[in-house]
Every structure is written in C-alpha cells, then in structure tokens.
C-alpha cells in the first residue's frame, strides 16, 4: 500500500529505503552461514535459500534437529523463518512459500498447494484459475499432454518438477570441493588464536588426503562458523600446486593480518572448515642422498613463495606474470596474467647468437606519434621529431614488414606496418614504424614503438 496509508494505520511505522544490493549481500552471508549444515547451498533470491541436506541430517539427529538448530539461529538474528523439507527443490520451495494447512504426508501437501505455487506467468495462472484448476492436485489429475497443449509447455514442466516426475537440478552457490576437512566443537571457541591453531591441524589433514591422491592444492578456503549463525570465509591461492601446510598457514596469516574487517569470533566459533576447491597434479619429492628432508627454499621455490605472499597481502590481481603469445603483432606477443592464474612457464624465443636484438627492451603503450622526413614515400626515415626534439638518423635497418592478422579481424585486417631500427647521431637507438602503405592510406602516420638499450 502507499506509505501515507501505511503511516495512517501504524503511526509509529519505521520506513527505510529499499536497498536490493544490501539484501543480496545479507542473503550471501546467510548462505555462508548455512554451510554448517551442508556444502550444497543455493540462493533463492530475494529472500530464500535452498539446502540439499542429503546425507547431512544425521549430524543433527535427523531433519527435525537440523531444522530446529537453523530456526534457533535465525531467530537469534531477529528474523522469521518459513521452512519445508521435500524430495525436490521445487517442492520444498513451494511448500515453504505457499503451504497454509498441515497435511498427512508430502504428496498430499504438494497437491493442496494453490496453483500460484507453480509460479507461472500471470496470464497462464489466470487461465488455469478460470478453467477451475485452483490447486496443484486439480491440475495433476489432467493428462499432461492436454495441459501442455492448452496452457503451454512451461506449465507441464513446472508441474512435473513439483511432483518429482522430472529432473530437478540444484545450482549451488559453490560447487562441492574435492577435499574438505572440518572440525565441530561442543563448546564454541572464542579466541582467534585457538581457531588459527585448529585451522593448522585441518591443513595437515587436508595435505594428507592430497598426498594420497598425488595432488597438490592451488586454492584454499577457510570458513569460520560463528555460534550466532553467521560465517566468515578467508581464501588464499598459490601460484603452483603445494602440499606444504606451513606455507598455506603463512599465507592465511598474511591474509588475516591484512583484513580491513578483522576476524571477529563473536560468541565463539562452533565449527571450522578448510576446503581445497582447486587441485593440480603434484609428484612425490625425492629425498636428498645426504639424508634429511628436502627444503623447498631453492631459488625458484623462494621466488614462488614470495609471489604468493605478495599476492595474498596486496591482492591477487596486483602481482602479475608474463606469458608468451603466439602472434607476430609486437604489442601482443606477451600476455599479462595474475600470478595465481598464470599457466606453467613456456619457453621464450631465443635470439640468434651474436646478432643484435630485433625487439627493444621497452615498448610504448600506445606507440607515440612522431614527425618523419623520408627521401621517398616508402623509404626509410632520415630525420624525425619526437617530444619537441629533432633527431637525425645516422644508421637504419629495415624495413621489417608486419601485416595485420586479417584472419582474426572482421574488417579484413588493419594497416601494414614497416618497422625500422634506427640510430641517431648521438648513438641512441629507436624502433620506428610507418602505419600503412601509400596504397592503403593516402597519408600514413609514423610512430615510435620502443627504445633499445
């Protein structure tokens, strides 16, 4: 109803602006907290969650105990809970939202639901009601082919899913990770240091499982479940697969120290879970002949560990690696990727022995325009002006003609480039190119693309 009418009925009504983004964030937090019951939690916006508790109810002495625990935590947060359990996600959702009277069993409860529980388009729902089909049971008594022919295939599909006759696929918020280690506590732990120690023990258990599978972890996510129903997740990544629990704990310590919102135990953590959602093959390590454990603190391992620590502290997108790309366009021969996402290093093309480098050490992005004087239209540059200074060319080498990748462009390719390696009278070397031939463009421009050492 309009706000003025609502205030007339309830003078002390508290009205706040609707913020759907905050509602979504709150629903995400609720879903994170429900991870204590099952790892398969799906969002049902704007105000619902769907939990697949198959194989999980025995941890709470049955479905009744699980629902009672969930209701107690939701009530503690000042919220009202409507819940239902059913064989399919659609049936559970419909019962929680539309059931008004108790029924002797699930099948009877579903058939008592109003036709609005199918959540079809408004026109289809109105047509069903006008046809005298007011409940799901009324509709299910009709032949499915007649329903599809008269009210559309969506009505028949929704009915079959509600009755459990069609396949229902739950889209969980997070897929089930291949490795999980968790610890539940009869009494909540209220000290973050104690929770960190438990996390270290879970990391040791997870590494043991990884060793049995011959795998290493690349992504580790720790979730701390508070006794009031909320949860907090902290994730770290490594550039290479690892089974080093100490390394993972150092990364978690770096992440916890850099949190803008510190980890708050509230009334205590009653469950801690460590998940390893990303695995890569990792062979066993050969021990040294002189005895003792192998130390991964060689030069490459130390650099990888430093990169992981910096990425954890500064952000995964701040630390990047270069990867060679299969292209002859100079500015596209390397890709800049986050260190955590970069694939294994690939060999870079080696220069010819004794030959000067064909590419400069520094490239301008984008290339900088210059003014060039050439003897003939397609000839080499004799003088160019760059950054208000004139440079006389003493030596040049070229042209190196590079055509556009016409097979990757819809406009049948771009302009041809003629590259020159030039040296001015002061010994400074530049990489210049003319963008376009005179057959392609009446007045092609010149650019400086890079500087040689």
Q: What is the pTM of this model?
A: 0.62
51 and 147 part of one domain: yes
pLDDT value at residue 21: 92
Q: Is residue 345 a part of any domain in this protein?
A: no
189 and 261 part of one domain: yes
pLDDT value at residue 409: 61
- The whole domain housing 63 covers 23-163
Confidence of residue 347 (pLDDT cuts 50, 70, 90): low
Beta carbons within 10 angstroms of residue 334's beta carbon: 15
Q: Is residue 4 a part of any domain in this protein?
A: no
Percent of the chain surpassing pLDDT 90: 46
Distance CA 430, CA 362 (A): 10
Distance CA 355, CA 350 (A): 11
Cβ neighbours of residue 60 under 8 Å, at least 6 residues apart?
37, 66, 69
- Which tops the pLDDT comparison, 282 or 427? 427
Give CA 389 to chain center in angstroms. 49
Q: Is residue 319 a part of any domain in this protein?
A: no
Distance CA 303, CA 293 (A): 20
- 286, pLDDT greater than 80: no
89 and 35 part of one domain: yes
pLDDT value at residue 423: 93
pLDDT value at residue 410: 55
pLDDT value at residue 342: 62
Q: Is residue 320 a part of any domain in this protein?
A: no
* DSSP three-state, residue 142: coil
pLDDT value at residue 94: 93
Give the DSSP H or E segment for 83.
Answer: none
pLDDT value at residue 348: 64
Q: DSSP character for 419? A: E
Q: Is residue 366 a part of any domain in this protein?
A: yes
Q: Is residue 274 a part of any domain in this protein?
A: yes
- Which tops the pLDDT comparison, 288 or 111? 111
Q: What is the domain-level CATH number for residue 203? A: 3.30.1490.100
Of 257-261, 289-293, 301-305, 368-372, the least confident: 289-293
pLDDT value at residue 319: 80
393 and 431 part of one domain: yes
40 and 106 part of one domain: yes
Task: Tell whether the torsion through CA atoms of 160, 161, 163 and 166 is positive or negative.
Answer: positive
Number of domains observed in the structure of the chain: 3
Q: Which residues lie across from 269 on neighbouring strands?
A: 189, 226
Cβ neighbours of residue 157 under 8 Å, at least 6 residues apart?
166
Average pLDDT, the chain: 86
Confidence of residue 393 (pLDDT cuts 50, 70, 90): very high
Of 78-87, 188-197, 335-344, the least confident: 335-344
38 and 157 part of one domain: yes
Instruction: Please provide the distance, in angstroms rounded to a whole number, between the alpha carbons at the two ends of the chain.
Output: 73
Cβ atoms 381, 432 nearer than 8 A: yes
Q: Is residue 171 a part of any domain in this protein?
A: no
Distance CA 198, CA 273 (A): 10
Distance CA 122, CA 140 (A): 19
33 and 147 part of one domain: yes
- 297, pLDDT greater than 50: no
Task: Tell whether the torsion through CA atoms of 240, 242, 248 and 250 is positive or negative.
Answer: negative
Q: Which residues lie across from 335 on neighbouring strands?
A: 323
Cβ atoms 151, 174 nearer than 8 A: no
Q: Is residue 344 a part of any domain in this protein?
A: no
- 288, pLDDT greater than 80: no
305 and 185 part of one domain: yes
CA Rg, the chain, in Å? 33
- 312, pLDDT greater than 60: yes
Distance CA 139, CA 159 (A): 8
Helices and strands, counts by H and E, the chain: 12, 14
pLDDT value at residue 293: 53
pLDDT value at residue 442: 81
pLDDT tens digit string along 225-254? 998 888 899 999 887 888 999 999 999 998
99 and 197 part of one domain: no
- 343, pLDDT greater than 70: no
pLDDT tens digit string along 420-448? 999 999 999 999 999 988 888 888 899 99
119 and 198 part of one domain: no
């Amino acid at each position: 109803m309009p706000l003025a009418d609502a205030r007339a009925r309830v003078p002390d009504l508290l009205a706040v602006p609707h913020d759907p983004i905050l509602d979504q964030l709150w629903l995400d937090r609720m879903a994170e907290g429900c991870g204590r019951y099952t790892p398969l939690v799906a969002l049902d916006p704007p105000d619902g969650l769907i939990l697949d508790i198959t194989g999980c109810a025995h941890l709470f002495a049955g479905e009744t105990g699980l629902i009672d625990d969930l209701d107690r935590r939701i009530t503690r947060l000042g919220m009202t809970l409507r819940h239902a359990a059913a064989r399919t996600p659609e049936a559970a959702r419909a019962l929680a939202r539309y059931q008004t009277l108790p029924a002797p069993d699930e099948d009877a409860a579903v058939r008592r639901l109003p036709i609005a529980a199918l959540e079809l388009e408004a026109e289809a729902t109105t047509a069903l009601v006008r046809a005298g089909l007011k409940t799901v049971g009324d509709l299910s008594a009709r032949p499915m082919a007649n329903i599809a022919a008269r009210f559309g295939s969506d009505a028949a599909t929704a009915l079959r899913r509600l009755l459990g006759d069609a396949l229902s696929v739950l889209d969980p918020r997070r897929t089930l990770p291949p490795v999980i280690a968790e610890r539940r506590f009869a009494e909540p732990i209220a000290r973050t240091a104690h929770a960190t120690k438990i996390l270290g023990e879970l990391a040791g258990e997870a590494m043991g499982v990884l060793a049995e599978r011959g795998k290493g972890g690349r992504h580790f996510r720790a979730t701390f479940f508070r006794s009031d129903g909320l949860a907090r997740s902290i994730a770290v990544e490594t550039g290479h697969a690892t089974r080093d629990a100490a390394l993972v704990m150092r990364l978690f310590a770096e992440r916890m120290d850099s949190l803008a919102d510190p980890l708050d135990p509230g009334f205590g953590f009653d469950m801690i879970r460590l998940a390893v959602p990303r695995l890569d093959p990792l062979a066993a390590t050969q021990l040294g002949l002189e005895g003792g454990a192998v130390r991964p603190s060689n030069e490459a391992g130390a650099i990888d560990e430093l990169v992981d620590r910096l990425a954890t502290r500064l952000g995964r997108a701040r630390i990047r690696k270069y990867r060679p790309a299969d292209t002859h366009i100079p500015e596209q021969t390397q890709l800049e990727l986050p260190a955590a996402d970069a694939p294994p290093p690939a060999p870079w093309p080696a220069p010819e022995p004794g030959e000067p480098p064909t590419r400069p050490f520094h490239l301008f992005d984008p290339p900088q325009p210059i003014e060039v004087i050439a003897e003939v239209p397609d000839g080499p540059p004799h003088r160019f002006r760059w950054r208000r200074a004139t440079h006389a060319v003493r030596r040049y080498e070229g042209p190196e003609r590079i055509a556009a990748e016409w097979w990757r462009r819809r406009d049948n390719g771009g302009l041809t480039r003629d590259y020159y390696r030039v040296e001015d009278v002061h010994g400074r070397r530049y990489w210049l190119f003319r963008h376009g031939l005179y057959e392609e463009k009446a007045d092609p421009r010149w650019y400086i693309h890079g500087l040689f050492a």
